[in-house]
Chain A
Amino acid sequence: MLQDELSVVFEGAAGEGLRAIADILATVIKDCGYHISVSHEYMSRVRGGSNTAQLRITKHPRTAYTRRIDIFLGLSPHAASCLRERGESRTVGVIEVSTAEVQSTAEVQSTAGGSATGTLVATPFKAMAKEAGNSRYLNTIAGGILLGMIDLPLKPYIERLQTAFAQKGERVMTGNARAASLGYDWGKAHPAPEPLFPPPIDPELAGELLLLSGTAACGIGAVAAGCNFISSYPMSPGTGLLTFLAAKAESFGIVVDQAEDEIAAINAGIGAAYAGARAIVSTSGGGFDLMQEGLSLAAMTETPIVIHLGQRPGPATGLPTRTEQGDLSLALYAGHGEFPRIILTPGSLAELVMAMQHAFSAAGCYQVPVIILTDQHLLDLSTTIHRSEIHRIGHYASIVETGCGYRRYAFTPNGISPRGVPGYGEGIVRVDSDEHDEWGLITESFSMRRLMVEKRLKRRTALALAALPPSRFGNPEDASLIVLAWGSTRSLLDEVLQRRSNPDIAGLHFSQAFPLSAATFRLLSGKRLVVIENNATGQFADLVEREAGVRVSHRILKATGEPFAVEEVDGALEEIANA
């Protein structure tokens, strides 16, 4: 039986160009008509300077992290130990001859936990690099080997390499082409044990496949929404969006300001939005901590602001380059005083593009802060998406031209006043962080305070009605066990449920965590509920219990700094289902 996926891991020391070559290969493989996802670094706990990039080539779109390794291409001196730790019986390890001689096949087999009897291909990487003219070509050779082993064409690889290295001169281009060919020939002579499944997409149509990171999807969504202002202070993993929009600033007329701190960033964003910009700020948990007074200001002044919060493990500096879903409670409760907010938790490229547009739309329509909660795993993962899955929404609350006597906080039945901006019309636009009257002037009147509190909170009704419903996996109406997920675990949920293939288990993925879609609550009553989340306490489970008045019986949690692997959640779910 043909496999429907192939998982390839490249291993090498930092600086060996792993990321570059993984991205080039991913594009080549995509162009052949395959779905592919690229994740970086998950195995860097292996001692020494050993980084990895994983390429998951699949028949169906699958982006979750898997422990499976079909082909392992190791370049660093730690390759053998890395393979020993992670290899399994199906793994073909392609390792430098000199390393492989020391770490013989027998040793690899005996230390890999007994069950693993992977194949080792001792490969003259260094000799090939020498022949191609430079020891730096190891990564290019590894790429060629992979394509040879799985019998994909060499030519597009060389073309992509030429484009990538065009700036570096003729010698580097020729050398890389030579290295790719040498590797390719070696790979052809050592084919993978099973042929690669045929491409799921007609290669003629593969041009419609795009390869995007989560960060790029956020940026594309922001551009689609007409975002024209970003002020931010760099903080991983939120920096990528700032970088993305800076690169697009000229073409799309986006004003980019690198702030002196996150406090300045959000206040500048709110100032810009007051003057009519579609403003966003991007940060991570620590920076968001500093932004909280600004969140409260946005709420009090009813100024639309979009905040991208890319989560990473805390508290404090935590693990700056790793992943976690630990800041949901922070986003829920941040800012002093009582005010409405929206928290979006997209889980795929298409949802990221849509969430960003929805955020701008909702912020403008309801004049509330909107927080988009992502995480390092989702932002840094590059995956294929069909162009047709990228949608635009195109309706945004308009700014009104003010007339004489304009009142920024005019009372209306739904609490939302027409929004004017300074310099557009004959009116005066006053906003105030103090409690204010309809004109935006400071007041200490208790009766006005009561009316303004009501005005700000009244829109909660509309926000609840407009809450995005969760995506359904399987049939939650009939299943007795429902698995709930939010944010980056969407593809994981999808894949695990497909593996389980049990009609009695269904899944719901929430791309909006607050307010929760109340229409969904009836699905939850009387069911066994399981929540999957990448944190230590189950913050979403707590939220669902509180909001829906149900009990979550199991929480599948992980807070190591890594994303979940499909296999571990599959195992956990099996235990729960059988309990």
Chain B
Amino acid sequence: MHDSLDSFDMPGTTDMAWCPGCGNYKLLDSLKRALTLLEIDRTRLVMVSGIGQAAKAPQYINANMFNGLHGRALPAALGIRLANPELTLIVESGDGDMYGEGGNHFLHAIRRNPDITVIVHNNMVYGLTKGQASPTSCRAMTTPVQVKGVVSEPFNPAAVAIALNAPFVARAYAGNEEETTSIIMEAIRFKGTAIVDVLQPCVVFNALNTYTWFSEHTISVPEDHDPDDRTAAFALAVQDGPMPLGVLYRKEGRETYEEMVCCGQTPLHLCKAPDEVEFQNMLDRYR
């Protein structure tokens, strides 16, 4: 890599909160590499996250950061997006944060279609709280809480996103770093809400979905798949057997929420209060 390119590495030494061997490391590397290759200006990049081990990722990226509340990364990101349409916005959180605590926001953020890249570390378990089921946990997996095994149907993020007509929906596997980097680059370049669900192992609390398990349970999206075909994309998202990896759905040209909602304001921090004439004109309506 060229020396003049920004590596997004944190200055100095960082005390990493992740377990050795965690899939988070690979995903972090993929993301930083994507940012570097895209030559993103880190002063104009905001990483937004909720709470959890995955949500700590922005702590390890040298860029602006809004590390908010559990499940609330998307609403916060929406506010940031509306306040400044010029920033590059990436939301990064885990499956519990995004699909559990923040499930309602996931649905409604997609409906609005703000220009935000949403990267979800999906390790199918709650790591930080020590091993309970997450919304994406496989049925029958036993945990300290689900002692007889998970009984609920797993949440299918790609299928839900496509059903809501998210204009960009991809599934990646953190173990495939090169492919993950390229999917993330495509998602960041895409204008609109881009959902990237990244499968990854939790080496401490998920003995079921291991590196081996993911290798055995994933395949590539078929070469002849047309990502513009929503029905075909949905079929891939819900098909039995190995999970297809790659861009499942991609629909160009949809207006973003900020394009529809903002009235051509400059970034809001540059806006001034109305002048006295405008203000008095408003009062005239109440005469």
Contacts and interface: CB of A to CB of B under 8 A. Distances in A.
A279 interface: yes
A434 B267 CA distance: 27
A425 B271 CA distance: 16
Contacts of A476: none
Contacts of B147: none
B68 A433 contact: yes
A423 B274 contact: no
B79 interface: yes
B97 to A, nearest CB: 12
Interface in A286-314: 293-294, 297, 301
Nearest to A268: B79
A433 to B, nearest CB: 6
B114 to A, nearest CB: 10
Interface string B70-92: 00101111111011101100000
Contact of B64 (A228, A249, A301, A430): A430
Contact of B69 (A226, A293, A421): A293
A396 B76 contact: no
Interface residues of B, number: 54
B277 interface: no
Interface in A241-278: 248-257, 259-261, 263-265, 267-278
Given A432-B65, A433-B51, A271 B104 contact: no
Contact of A422 (B46, B261, B274): B46
Interface string A327-345: 0000000000000000000
Contact of A432 (B62, B67, B268): B67
B278 A251 contact: yes
Contacts of B72: 263-264, 267, 293-294, 297
Contacts of A392: 276, 279
Contacts of A223: 273-274, 279, 282
A221 to B, nearest CB: 11
B61 to A, nearest CB: 10
Given A255-B261, A271-B80, A275-B83, A210 B287 contact: yes
A430 B48 CA distance: 10
B268 A423 contact: no
Contact of A220 (B17, B43, B282): B282
Contact of B79 (A220, A229, A256): A229
Contacts of A269: 79
Contacts, number: 201
Nearest to B62: A428
Size class of A's contact patch? 35 or more
A252 B261 contact: no
Given A224-B273, A433-B69, A271 B76 contact: yes
A442 interface: yes
Interface in A158-203: none
A423 B278 contact: no
A362 to B, nearest CB: 15
A441 B15 CA distance: 11
B117 to A, nearest CB: 16
Contacts of A271: 48, 66, 68, 75-80, 83
B209 to A, nearest CB: 27
Contacts of A225: 273
Interface in B25-52: 42-44, 46, 48, 51
A301 B76 CA distance: 12
Contact of B59 (A224, A261, A301, A442): A442
B230 interface: no
A396 B274 CA distance: 13
Given A255-B261, A257-B82, A275 B274 contact: no
B171 interface: no
B265 interface: yes
B265 to A, nearest CB: 5
Nearest to B44: A423
Interface in B96-119: 104-105, 107-108
Contacts of B270: 276
Interface in B225-262: 261-262
Nearest to A357: B273
A226 B43 CA distance: 26
A277 B83 contact: yes
A390 interface: yes
Contacts of A207: 287
A282 interface: no
Nearest to B41: A423
A270 B80 CA distance: 8
A387 interface: yes
Contacts of A267: 68-69, 72, 75-76, 79
A399 interface: yes
A220 B274 CA distance: 11
A394 interface: yes
A216 interface: yes
B272 interface: yes
B65 A297 contact: no
A427 B43 contact: yes
B67 A274 contact: no
A424 interface: yes
B56 interface: yes
A44 B287 CA distance: 30
B108 A387 contact: no
B79 A228 contact: no
Given A294-B69, A424-B269, A429-B64, A255 B83 contact: yes
Nearest to B51: A433
A212 interface: yes
B269 A421 contact: yes
A442 B44 contact: no
Contact of B274 (A252, A259, A276): A252
Interface of B: 17, 42-44, 46, 48, 51, 56, 59, 62-69, 72, 74-80, 82-84, 86-87, 104-105, 107-108, 261-265, 267-274, 276, 278-279, 282-283, 286-287
11 contacts: A210-B287, A231-B79, A271-B68, A271-B77, A274-B66, A276-B83, A277-B268, A294-B69, A399-B269, A421-B84, A422-B43
Nearest first, the 4 closest Cβ-Cβ pairs linking A and B are A276-B269, A271-B79, A226-B273, A271-B76
